[in-house]
C-alpha cells in the first residue's frame, strides 16, 4: 500500500519549509529490517495501476515535542524521540521494519507501517544539511547510521540511544562536501565516503582522524592514485583514499557479491572497481553530461546508470553497453532493480527523474536488437586513457529500449525510487514520500517484449 507522507511539513521551524527544502540536498531514504506530499492521486491510469499500483490512503507524521535530549553541541540543534520509544520497540518485536529519511537539516527515523504518526526520532542540525546516509544492517541493536553533510562533516549516529560521534571535524581529512556514503559489506565499522572533489575514502568509525596521508606506490593495475596514512599513523583515518575524479562523486553501490563497487561521478563516468584489491576494472562514459545514480542487478551481471543526458543506460559487467533507455525529458536521478520481478534472463527496473515521472523497464539480453558496432566518431580522447576505458558509442550503435509504463506521480522533481516486497517507494525534492501498493503481475518471460 502506498502511504504518502509529507515529511517536508513536519515541525514548525522555518528551516523545514518547502522553500528551504528546495535548496537543500536531495532527499535520501534507507530501510532497516530487524531479525515514507501532498497525498494527491496524480492520475492513476489503468496502465499504472496494472504495473505499478495505486495509493490506498494518505497520512503524515509529525515531530514530537517531548523527550528532547539536552544538547550543548555547536553542530546538533536537538534530538527528539518518541514518548514511549522503548515500549514501542519492544511491542514491535525483532522482525519490525523501519525507514530513515534525510531531508534538509533533519534526519528522521520512522515506523515503516506508519502505525505511529510521530516520527520515532528526529535529529535536527543547526547549520549543516544532511546530504546522505546509510544504516548498517549488522548492528541491529544500535542501528548504527553514518551521515554525510554539505560541510564535509561525517557523523556516526545511533537513533536508538541518541549517541553520536563526528569525523572530519574542521576539515581534518577533507575540505569537500560529502556527496554519498555507504557501509562496507560485512563490516560493522568500515564505511566508504564520496566527496565533491572526486575523492573516495574508506574510514573506520572506531579510528581517530589523521590529516597526514602519503601516496601509495602503485603499479599500473590500480588505475588511479591511492593514498594511505604513513606507517606511524596506521591506526588513524582514512584507511585508504582514492582520487577517482576531479568532479563530485554522485553514487556508490556495492555489488551483490560484495566484492565490486560501482561509482558514478559528475564527470560522466561509471567506474567499476574491485574494492578488495583496490583495482579499477572498467570505466564507462555517459552519452553526455554527468552521471547521477547507478544500481546493480540482483545477480550482479548488469549495472544501470542515470544522469544528465536524460537516459538510463544498461551496462553488462565488464563494460559492454547493452542498451540506452529513452523515456525521460530531464535528468535521471534514481534507478533501482525490482528484485521480485527479475529472473536469470529477464530483468525489471525503474527510474525517476526531475521531470516528475517514473519509467518502468523490462529487458532480456536475448531479445534486445544488437546493432552492428563500428568505430565511433564520438570517442572522447580525454576519457580513453587505458585499455579498460570503454569508448562512447553513437546512438546508431546501441540498442534503444522504451519503457513499458511511464507516469507523472509527484508534483516536484523526483529523487528516489526503491522496491519493497509490498510496495514501491518514491520521494521528491521537497521530501514528499509515497508508498505504492504492489500489484500482482506475472514476471516477464523471454520473448514477451
DSSP codes joined into one string, 338-353:
-GGG--SSEEEEEEEE
Residue 90 has pLDDT above 90, yes or no: no
pLDDT in tens, 348-397: 999 999 999 999 999 997 777 666 555 444 444 444 435 588 989 998 89
Q: Which residue has the higher pLDDT, 95 or 160?
A: 160
Q: What is the pLDDT of residue 8?
A: 34
Confirm whether 142 is domain-assigned: yes
Neighbours of 354 (CB within 10 A): 20
Mean pLDDT of 406-419: 94
What's the maximum distance between 2 C-alpha atoms anywhere in the chain?
Answer: 66
User: How far apart are alpha carbons 360 and 362 in whole angstroms?
Assistant: 7
**Each residue of 313-353: pLDDT tens digit?**
999 998 899 999 999 999 999 999 999 999 988 999 999 99
In a domain, 443, yes or no: no
Distances (CA, A) of 52 to 284, 314, 344, 438: 31, 21, 22, 6
- Among residues 173, 306, 282, which one has the least CA distance to residue 236? 173
Mean pLDDT, residues 18-27 taken together: 51
How many domains, in total, are found in the chain? 1
Q: Is residue 405 part of a domain?
A: yes
Structural domain for 316, as ranges: 5-437
> Does 43 score more than 60 pLDDT?
no
In a domain, 386, yes or no: yes
Q: Which residues pair with 364 in a beta bridge?
A: 346
Mean pLDDT computed over every residue of the chain:
81
DSSP string, 148-212: EETTS-EEEE-TTT--EEEESGGGSS-SSPEEEEEEPTT-SSEEEEEETTSEEEEEETTSEE-S-
**CATH code for the domain of 188:** 2.130.10.10
pLDDT of 13 reads 36
| pLDDT band of 221, cuts 50, 70, 90 | low
Residue 380 and residue 288 in contact, taking contact as beta carbons nearer than 8 Å? no
- Residue 168: pLDDT band with limits 50, 70, 90: very high
The answer as to whether 100 is a domain residue is yes
Rounded to an integer, the average pLDDT of 303-308 is 97
Domain assignment present for 449: no
Is the pTM of the predicted complex or chain greater than 0.95? no
DSSP sequence for 283-313: EEE-SSS-EEEEEE-TTSSEEEEEETTSEEE
| In a domain? residue 75 | yes
Q: Examine residue 64 and state whether it is found in any structural domain, yes or no.
A: yes
Distance CA 364, CA 322 (A): 10
Paired with 99 in beta bridges are 31, 110
Q: Which of 272, 265, 212 is nearest to 241 (CA)?
A: 212
Amino acid at each position: 500500500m502506498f502511504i504518502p507522507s509529507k515529511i517536508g511539513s513536519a515541525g514548525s521551524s522555518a528551516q523545514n519549509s518547502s522553500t528551504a527544502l528546495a535548496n537543500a540536498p536531495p532527499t535520501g531514504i534507507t530501510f532497516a529490517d530487524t531479525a515514507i506530499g501532498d497525498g494527491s492521486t496524480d492520475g492513476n491510469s489503468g496502465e499504472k495501476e496494472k504495473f505499478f499500483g495505486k495509493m490506498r490512503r494518505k497520512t503524515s507524521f509529525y515531530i514530537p515535542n517531548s523527550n528532547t535530549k539536552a544538547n550543548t553541541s555547536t553542530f546538533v540543534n536537538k534530538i527528539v524521540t518518541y514518548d514511549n520509544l522503548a515500549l514501542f520497540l519492544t511491542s514491535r518485536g525483532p522482525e519490525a521494519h523501519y525507514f530513515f529519511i534525510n531531508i534538509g537539516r533533519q534526519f528522521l527515523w520512522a515506523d515503516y507501517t506508519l502505525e505511529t504518526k510521530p516520527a520515532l526520532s528526529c535529529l535536527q542540525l543547526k547549520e549543516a544539511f544532511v546530504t546522505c546516509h546509510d544504516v548498517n544492517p549488522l548492528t541491529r541493536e544500535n542501528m548504527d547510521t553514518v551521515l554525510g553533510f554539505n560541510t564535509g562533516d561525517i557523523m556516526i549516529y545511533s537513533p536508538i540511544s541518541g549517541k553520536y560521534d563526528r569525523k572530519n571535524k574542521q576539515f581534518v581529512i577533507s575540505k569537500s562536501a560529502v556527496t554519498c556514503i555507504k557501509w562496507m559489506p560485512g563490516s560493522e565499522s568500515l564505511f566508504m565516503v564520496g566527496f565533491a572533489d572526486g575523492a573516495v575514502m574508506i574510514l573506520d568509525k572506531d579510528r581517530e582522524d589523521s590529516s597526514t596521508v602519503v601516496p601509495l606506490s602503485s603499479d599500473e593495475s590500480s588505475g588511479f592514485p591511492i593514498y594511505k596514512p604513513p606507517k606511524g599513523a596506521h591506526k588513524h583515518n582514512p584507511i585508504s583514499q582514492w582520487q577517482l575524479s576531479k568532479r563530485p562523486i554522485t553514487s556508490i553501490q556495492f555489488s551483490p557479491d560484495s566484492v565490486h563497487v560501482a561509482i558514478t561521478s559528475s564527470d560522466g563516468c561509471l567506474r567499476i572497481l574491485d574494492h578488495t584489491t583496490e583495482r579499477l576494472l572498467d570505466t564507462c562514459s555517459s552519452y553526455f553530461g554527468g552521471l547521477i545514480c547507478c544500481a546493480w542487478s540482483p545477480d550482479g551481471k548488469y549495472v544501470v546508470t542515470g544522469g544528465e543526458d536524460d537516459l538510463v543506460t544498461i551496462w553488462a559487467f565488464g563494460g559492454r553497453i547493452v542498451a540506452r533507455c529513452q523515456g525521460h525529458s530531464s535528468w535521471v536521478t534514481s534507478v533501482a532493480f525490482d528484485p521480485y520481478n527479475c529472473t536469470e534472463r529477464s530483468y525489471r527496473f525503474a527510474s525517476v527523474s526531475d521531470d516528475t515521472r517514473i519509467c518502468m523497464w523490462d529487458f532480456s539480453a536475448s531479445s534486445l536488437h544488437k546493432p552492428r558496432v563500428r568505430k565511433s566518431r564520438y570517442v572522447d580522447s580525454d576519457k580513453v586513457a587505458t585499455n579498460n576505458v570503454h569508448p562512447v558509442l553513437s546512438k546508431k550503435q546501441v540498442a534503444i529500449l522504451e519503457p513499458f509504463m511511464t507516469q507523472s506521480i509527484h508534483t516536484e522533481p523526483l529523487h528516489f525510487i526503491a522496491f519493497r516486497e509490498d510496495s514501491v517507494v518514491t520521494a521528491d525534492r521537497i521530501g514528499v514520500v509515497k508508498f505504492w501498493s504492489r500489484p500482482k503481475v506475472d514476471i516477464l518471460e523471454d520473448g514477451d517484449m
